[in-house]
Amino acid sequence: MAVLPPSGKNFIPDNQQSNGHHPSLAHKQTAFLWHYTPMHTPPVILTIAGFDPSAGAGVLADLKTIHACGGYACAVITAQTVQNTCGVKDLWLEPIEGVIAQIRTLRQDFSLAAVKIGMLGTDAMAQAILECLNDFQGPVVIDPVLKSSSGQTLMEKGRAFNALLQRATLITPNLLEGEKLLGHPLP
């Protein structure tokens, strides 16, 4: 089992290295002594999105997807939702200053391979994220979460949101979001 610790370096448990096996730890699956090993580093992907406690959307769904694709996921939460599989009951936005601080702190520690952006909530949040990523050269995937599946508005569109869409490498709207963004029905 390879593990990527917060330093961004690859470490592997000493009891799982063929050249550094410790017989005293062979029977203990949870005891690890860490040693640096030059091995493949998985791409670090930052997801910036809302928190869905049912894990059907938002950062929890993104973390599962990134991990399943072999990436190392970091997450910044823009909003908390009160929801289950039946729909969104309530939501509140995280303070923009906290979101900015988290993105900057992660960017200081990790060399990001890509950024995925989901629910933002406000145009002011879109502006803050746009500024945090102004020098980021990697791909940016935007899932423009405009409304919940139950119809609750989750994003106020504005200039910054439109500028963020222009910055995107890939935009992944659902059918209704695509029609709203394009301003006309899709066939």
**pLDDT tens sequence across 94-141:** 999 999 999 999 999 999 999 999 999 999 999 999 999 999 999 999
Q: Could you tell me if 65 and 31 lie in one domain? A: no
DSSP string, 82-114: EEETTEEEEEEEPPHHHHHHHHHHHHHH--EEE
Asked if residue 187 is part of any domain, the answer here is: no
Q: Could you tell me if 97 and 171 lie in one domain? A: yes
Q: Could you tell me if 153 and 137 lie in one domain? A: yes
Using CB atoms within 10 Å of the CB of residue 92, give its burial: 0 to 12 exposed, 13 to 18 middle, 19+ buried.
exposed
CB contact at 8 A, 182 and 171? no
Asked if residue 99 is part of any domain, the answer here is: yes
Q: Bridge partners of 171?
A: 142
Q: What's residue 35's pLDDT?
A: 43
Instruction: Say which residue the tokens 């994220």 belong to.
Output: 129
Domain residue limits at 29:
1-39
More confident site: 64 or 176: 64
Q: Could you tell me if 8 and 100 lie in one domain? A: no
